Amino acid sequence: MGNRAKLVQTLVVGLCMVLGLSVGAQVHVVPGGAGDEDGSDWDNAFSSLQEAVDTAAANNEDVWVAEGTYELSDPIAWPGGVEAYGGFQVGGSLGDRNPWANPTVLDGSDVGDAGDLSGHADGAVIFFGDEGSTGNRIDGFRIQNASSNRGAVLVAAEDDVEDVEATVVQCHFVNNQAGMGAAITADNTGTLHVEDCIFEDNTGDSLGGAILYRFETSGSITNSIFLNNTSGPDWGGGSAIFTDVSGIPVDYSTFTGNVIDGENEYVIRGGFEVSNSIIFGNDPNDVEAADDITNSIHESDIDEDPLFVDAAAGNLRLGAGSPAIGAADDGGNLGARDLPYVLSLIETDPSTLVFVAPEGSTRLGPVLLHEEFEADATFRWYFEGEEIEDEINNYLDIDDATVEQAGTYTVVVEHPDFDVPQEFEIVLRVEEVQAPAAGLAGLAAAGGAIALMGLARMRRKRR
């Protein structure tokens, strides 16, 4: 068994996903500004996000915002049609962006009255208030410590503006407080789409601990986490999300640790259509429209414990044997995926190709890791219970195989984040196939299906 001296790149899923994003002209922002502060590049970046979005709107550009903390004293009045992306290292490109590893923080601790923006935007961090506007997007920001009357982010406002559409992606809302809809409020006829976000420790005094949709609003929530948010009991509370409209879809999301300061209220209040999600460990855990929950862990549907590794410590990974594993409509796991708190160390099980003896070769693995775990993981390989010396990669190459090398291979993966090592067992069957006169190359040309006969069987287990 030889060990090929080359590395196999691991697959990074979700954290830096930028497929589909356009790359045009940009306006740049860094903490404290740089150079001429005209936003033209990283060396001449604005210090002010407000200046940046105004410039971008005038020139049909996107906004790129470097990691760091931006302490705001006024809400950002968002001009229509501007897209802004955070999570950059200074000098980085869109493909290098990682909002979770390089947080771009908008801190609303010192934001006061919104003045002429809207009477409903007092204390907000971002106000999407350009009537009739679409194409508004914030992607990759941490928004924290706002104290407002309606939402750290406000989409439209009652009696003031209408028909505003906004998309919020890869944002982390932490420790925001409001009279209602503490993290985001979509008001009047606004449309709010939420994707790949985390809502944590936000408090709505009366209702909507994290998100509030009201007054003919619309939108969607996809692949998001609602953790330890709190609301008061008014109108049913909604410690995580509240709506007084119906039909808003919520897919592939996780709700846990959300609490209402009252009794007989709801973690999800209103006519949300929830699917492929986990609603577990909230106080109370009840939802108002139980009939609208499908294929989700909740006592009204799949009444089972999702087996979080340690929800109290914010570790929402699914433990071995969780009923959420592989139960989603798309064959994946229920709940949020590929976000901090739910990332699995091992993204996929190792896979193998069946090969033909005596001249065949194959690669067992690789074990695919999320990038943030890769450096600290170790691998050990075994054949029929005996450790294979010097095999320490996330894959195992076998050259010039014989039938004697058929059998059970095991890879043991250790990492500081694992309570116990993860063990993967690959049962490999090798078929002796009589090649025609043309040799194996001719066999492959004649019909690869014959050359790939046999069966590789794999099983995952925990020690």
Tens digits of residue pLDDT in 129-174: 999 999 999 999 999 999 998 899 999 987 778 999 999 999 999 9
pLDDT band at 113; cut points 50, 70, 90: low
CATH 2.60.40.10 is the classification of domain 346-462: yes
Residue bearing the bigger pLDDT, 178 or 404? 178
pLDDT of residue 22: 41
Minimum mean pLDDT range among 74-88, 196-210, 258-272: 258-272
Residue 107 has pLDDT above 80, yes or no: yes
pLDDT of residue 43: 97
Please name the residue that has the structure tokens 């049609």.
81
Q: What whole-number distance in Å separates Cα of residue 382 and Cα of residue 154?
A: 56
Q: If you average pLDDT over every residue of the chain, what do you get?
A: 83
pLDDT of residue 17: 30
Give buried/exposed letters for 356-375 (b at 16+ CB in 10 A, else e): bbeebebbbbbbbbbebbee
Residue 446 has pLDDT above 50, yes or no: no
Residue 101 has pLDDT above 70, yes or no: yes
pLDDT band at 313; cut points 50, 70, 90: confident
Going by DSSP bridges, is the β-strand pair 136-139/165-169 parallel, antiparallel, or unpaired? parallel
Residue 356 has pLDDT above 60, yes or no: no
Residue 29 has pLDDT above 90, yes or no: yes
List 423's β-bridge partners, or say none.
Answer: 412, 461
Q: What is the mean pLDDT of residues 195-216?
A: 96
Residue 328 has pLDDT above 90, yes or no: yes
Residue 398 has pLDDT above 90, yes or no: no
pLDDT band at 121; cut points 50, 70, 90: confident
Residue 1 has pLDDT above 70, yes or no: no
pLDDT of residue 100: 93
pLDDT of residue 434: 46
> Considering only CA atoms, which of 21, 25, 78 is closest in space to residue 49?
78
pLDDT of residue 24: 64
pLDDT of residue 346: 66
pLDDT band at 114; cut points 50, 70, 90: low
Going by DSSP bridges, is the β-strand pair 362-364/396-398 parallel, antiparallel, or unpaired? antiparallel
pLDDT band at 21; cut points 50, 70, 90: very low
Q: With pLDDT > 90 as the criterion, what percentage of the chain qualifies?
A: 60
Residue 441 has pLDDT above 50, yes or no: no
pLDDT of residue 347: 60
Contact 58, 46 (CB under 8 A): no
Q: What is the mean pLDDT of residues 277-295?
A: 96
For the chain, give the secondary structure using H, E and C. CCCCCCCCCCCCCCCCCCCCCCCCCEEEECCCCCCCCCCCCHHHCECCHHHHHHHHHHHCCEEEEECEEEECCCCEEECCCCEEEEEECCCCCHHHCCCCCCCEEEECCCCCCCCCCCCCCCCCCEEECCCCCCCEEEECCEEECCEEEECCEEECECCCECCCEEEEECCEEECCEEEECCCEEECCCCEEEEECCEEECCEEEEECCCEEECCCCEEEEECCEEECCEECCHHHEEEEEEEEEEEEEEECCEEECCEECCCCCEEEEEEEEEECCEECCCECCCECCHHHEECCECCCCECCCCCEEEHHHCEEEECCCCCCCCCCCCCCCCCCCCCCCCCCCEEECCCCCCCEECCCCEEECCCEECHHHHCCCEEEEEECCEECCCCCCCCEEECCCCHHHCEEEEEEEECCCCCCCEEEEEEECCEECCCCCCHHHHHHHHCHHHHCCCCEEEEEEEC
Structure tokens at 450: 């014959």
Q: What is the mean pLDDT of residues 236-246?
A: 94
Q: What is the mean pLDDT of residues 447-454?
A: 26
Residue bearing the bigger pLDDT, 348 or 155? 155
> Considering only CA atoms, which of 280, 298, 278 is closest in space to residue 289?
298
pLDDT of residue 364: 79
Residue bearing the bigger pLDDT, 118 or 179? 179
Please name the residue that has the structure tokens 């499908």.
294
pTM: 0.76
Going by DSSP bridges, is the β-strand pair 172-174/198-200 parallel, antiparallel, or unpaired? parallel
Residue 457 has pLDDT above 90, yes or no: no
